[in-house]
């Protein structure tokens, strides 16, 4: 699709990008990666970046994909998106009104997020490679119902994946803790994940617990896992509505969660039938069970329990 009247804004766009790129931080993000890749420049702006920005306007790809390919930050993405909407849309001539309508819906292989003139994306329509492969249909249904009503709940999860994205689609805000760098990187390459991050609805907390196996467990003994377990403190909230225990050291994390729950809170445990998780039920009572997933609430006296006791569950990795 060709769009007329685009040349009138190229110069202004070049100037904006060049100003940003001339800063020390901008040189690191734009110019150095482009030079290292042997990419030429036009008017001082990396040609690769210019082409990617032009492809945004020409409906060649989504802004999220452009952000990733050009190695931009989320802040850069927002600046570019706002510039395109406020400046480019404003300068397109009346003769290009049909093109303007098409610009509002940026497509990627005919399956993309819908971007309104306000810039708010429908993240649920963004493609995702994450599926509830380890959850039964009944577990999926019970989990999603737990997150209602939409837009009202605070949610924390040890672990990340389909459940995190499902929670982000419903909760007011979601925090997810990971201790394996490779998993964090995979999540940050997920288009739908990036969409929720841009909207300020999802926060990934990555902790450094040293070398781990493919499942995130430390490969050597004596590793301090407390930063991962105590990641629930980082949001600074006194309580959460829903806490999902689905990562490493589930006994330790479930017991540490007692500091952040009340009678209205619900804690979800996956693979609850495992014998190693029995200590959890000394402090939680079952509200409902579907398959291997249990929804729990704290027992009456559980919150008076000595919180330092969770440390004894770190060595066995349960």
Q: At residue 114, does pLDDT exceed 80?
A: no
pLDDT at residue 204 tops 70:
yes
- 269 vs 294: CA distance, rounded Å: 5
Higher pLDDT, 40 or 213: 213
d(CA 85, CA 116): 10
Q: Which of 126, 79, 92 is nearest to 107 (CA)?
A: 126
CATH match for 131-316 among 3.40.50.300, 3.40.630.10, 3.40.50.150, 1.20.970.10:
3.40.50.150
Instruction: Write out pLDDT tens, residues 249-270.
Output: 899 999 999 999 999 999 999 9
**Least confident stretch, 64-73, 85-94, 165-174:** 85-94
pLDDT for 258: 93
Give the Cα separation of 136 and 186 in Å (integer).
24
- Say what the alpha-carbon torsion angle 76, 77, 78, 83 is, to the nearest 10 degrees: 90
Q: What is the pLDDT of residues 60-81, one digit of tens each?
A: 344 444 545 555 555 555 555 5
More confident residue, 117 or 170: 170
* Domain regions of the chain by residue span: 55-88, 131-316
> What is the distance between the terminal CA atoms of the chain, rounded to a whole angstrom?
56
Segment of 23-32, 92-101, 261-270 carrying the highest mean pLDDT: 261-270
Q: Tell which residue, 131, 127, 133, has the closest CA to residue 112.
A: 127
What's the mean pLDDT in 278-299?
A: 95
Alpha carbon separation from 60 to 41, 79, 108, 186, 213 (Å, rounded): 21, 19, 7, 24, 39
């Amino acid at each position: 699709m060709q769009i007329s009247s685009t040349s009138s804004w190229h110069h202004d766009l070049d100037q904006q990008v060049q100003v940003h790129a001339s800063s020390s931080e901008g040189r690191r993000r734009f110019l150095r990666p482009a030079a290292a890749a042997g990419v030429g420049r036009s008017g001082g702006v990396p040609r690769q970046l210019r082409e990617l920005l032009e492809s945004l306007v020409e409906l060649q790809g989504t802004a999220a994909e452009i952000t990733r390919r050009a190695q931009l930050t989320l802040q850069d993405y927002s600046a570019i998106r706002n510039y395109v909407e406020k400046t480019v849309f404003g300068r397109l001539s009346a003769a290009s009104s049909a093109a303007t309508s098409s610009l509002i819906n940026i497509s990627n292989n005919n399956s993309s997020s819908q971007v309104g003139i306000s810039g708010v994306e429908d993240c649920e329509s963004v493609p995702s490679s994450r599926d509830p492969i380890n959850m039964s249909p009944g577990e999926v249904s019970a989990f999603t119902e737990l997150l209602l009503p939409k837009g009202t709940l605070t949610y924390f999860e040890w672990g990340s994946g389909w459940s995190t994205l499902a929670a982000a689609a419903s909760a007011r805000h979601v925090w997810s803790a990971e201790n394996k760098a490779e998993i964090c990187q995979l999540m940050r390459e997920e288009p739908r994940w990036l969409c929720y991050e841009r909207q300020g609805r999802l926060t990934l907390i990555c902790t450094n617990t040293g070398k781990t196996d493919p499942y995130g467990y430390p490969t050597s003994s004596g590793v301090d896992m407390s930063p991962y377990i105590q990641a629930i403190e980082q949001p600074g909230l006194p309580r959460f509505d829903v806490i999902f225990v689905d990562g490493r050291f589930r006994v330790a994390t479930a017991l540490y969660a007692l500091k952040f729950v009340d009678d209205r809170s619900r804690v979800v445990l996956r693979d609850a039938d495992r014998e190693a998780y029995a200590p959890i039920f000394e402090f939680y009572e079952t509200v409902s069970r579907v398959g291997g997933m249990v929804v729990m609430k704290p027992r009456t006296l559980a919150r008076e329990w000595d919180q330092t006791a969770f440390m004894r569950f770190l060595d066995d990795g349960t």
